[in-house]
Amino acid sequence: MNKTMNVARYEYLHHVVNKRFWLSLVSVPLGFGLILVISLLLSRFSFDTRPVGIVDNGSLIQIEPDNSKESTFFNPQIYLNVYPDESIARSAASTGEIQGFAIVPEDYAAGYQLTYWTNKQPDSSVQSVITDFISANLMAAENIDYAVLHRIREGSSISLQSLDGSQTSDGTGWHRIVVPAVIGILNFIVVMTSGGYLLKALVEEKENRTIEIMLTSVPSREIMAGKIVGNLGVGLTQIVVWVLLLGIAGFLFRSKLGFLADINLSGSYLVISLALMVLSFLFTAALMATIGAAMTSTEESQGVIGLMVPPMMFPFYFFNVFLSNPNGILARVLSFIPLSAPLALSLRMAISSVSPLEIGLVFVVIITFTLLMFWLAGVVFKRGMLQYSRRLRFKEIFKKETRNA
């Protein structure tokens, strides 16, 4: 056990005490953040905040436009200017004072048709501003309070409750799928990077023959267990650092992130999702160890790893199927496959009710798969690591086992 921990410690420190590791670790969220900031800035700078004109030929306007809301960088406003006739509005548009103007025709009530005059494609906000203003005036004509309009537009929120009362989910919006989506992405990145480290280490040890010295020092299963534990630690370090960075970013921009309060994070949900991620990592690490031991070169093993990506991404590919039928056959089957389970089950738990029995069964199946993969990795590691020039054959894997395996 000591030697297993020695191997694990070395594997962990070898990666973590390394500038490149921290550079890549920080560059991932920074990269995402940078892309987000750039896209926000591009969006903001392309947003036309010039006022929009209104010419009322239909005697519709009874209330003045509400231009009191302050326009800020993060929350830009489009104000409305009412013009007495079309020529003045056209002149303002020609000089660029306004971005365009809408004309309320004399027979507006006949067809509720407006004409918007402009030389550029208007932003969707322009249409909202105009239709809101027209709606408010139509309602004012009927003596209905303007606040009622907002109430009608917001609609009602629906809370879901399972029949036995054990599962609750609020609303049907984006915030219900954001957590499983983040879990899926984190799982993919962590598994592929730290699993990739494991594979790289194995192939290198095979190529530089260090494995021969190791095998004469530590039983092969202890070597493999140590490597998997060490690389699991690397993966968990990645998650902890990213969560910390997200936490810091969330704290710094807390005033702008009020919408995150809509996200419902229960303790049991997080524990189940994290446990699934760890199990999925262990399974994938054992699978990578098997591939690394059986293959003869880095290039050869990379090709095989490519085959692991689709199963991990299946829940993303079939996102619509999950949303429309979270307890259908496809969603359930993917919940029992170790590579897709973290995303599949956490997504299902977020948008529907999954019984504790089924969750328990998923864990039993994935633990069984993981143990079998560990056994297979142990055998392949033992037999394949010393085959430098040719790939391990399938039938050789199941020959009589040795003491050291």
Q: Looking at 1-9, 92-100, 145-153, 169-177, which segment touches other proteins (CB under 8 A)?
A: 1-9
**Residue 181 token pair:** 């989506």
**Residue owning tokens 């406003």:** 77
**Do you know the residue count of the chain?**
405
Using CB under 8 A, which of the segments 104-112, 143-151, 214-222, 251-259 binds other proteins? 214-222
Question: Phi/psi at 316 (nearest 5 deg)?
Answer: -70, -45
Which residue in 119, 124, 159, 216 binds other proteins (CB under 8 A)? 216
Q: Could you please report the per-residue DSSP string of 78-103?
A: --EEEESSHHHHHHHHHTTSSSEEEE
Which residue, 6 or 118, has its beta carbon nearer to other proteins? 6
Distance of CA 71 to the CA centre of its chain: 31
Structure tokens at 383: 């037999």
* Phi-psi group of 54: left, alpha or beta (phi > 0 → left; psi -120 to 50 → alpha; rest → beta): beta
Structure-block tokens of residue 28: 């991932």
Segment interacting with other proteins, rule: CB under 8 A, options 78-86, 183-191, 209-217, 367-375: 209-217
Instruction: Closer to other proteins by CB, 69 or 403: give it.
Output: 403
How many residues touch other proteins under the rule CB under 8 A: the total is: 27
Query: Measured from the CB atom, is 2 or 46 closer to other proteins?
Result: 2
**Residue 20 contacts other proteins per CB under 8 A:** no
Q: Is 208 in the site for other proteins (CB under 8 A)?
A: yes
User: How many angstroms separate the CA atoms of 347 and 148, rounded?
Assistant: 36
d(CA 400, CA 396) in angstroms, rounded, equals: 9
80-83 β-sheet, strand order: 80-83, 52-56, 100-104, 115-117
Q: Among 66, 85, 212, 300, which residue interacts with other proteins (rule: CB under 8 A)?
A: 212
Instruction: Pick the closer one to other proteins by CB: 11 or 56.
Output: 11
Binding mask of the shown chain, residues 218 to 257, with x at each position contacting other proteins by CB under 8 A: xx--------------------------------------
Residues that bind other proteins (CB under 8 A): 2-3, 6-7, 10, 14, 204-205, 208-210, 212-219, 386, 393, 396, 400-404
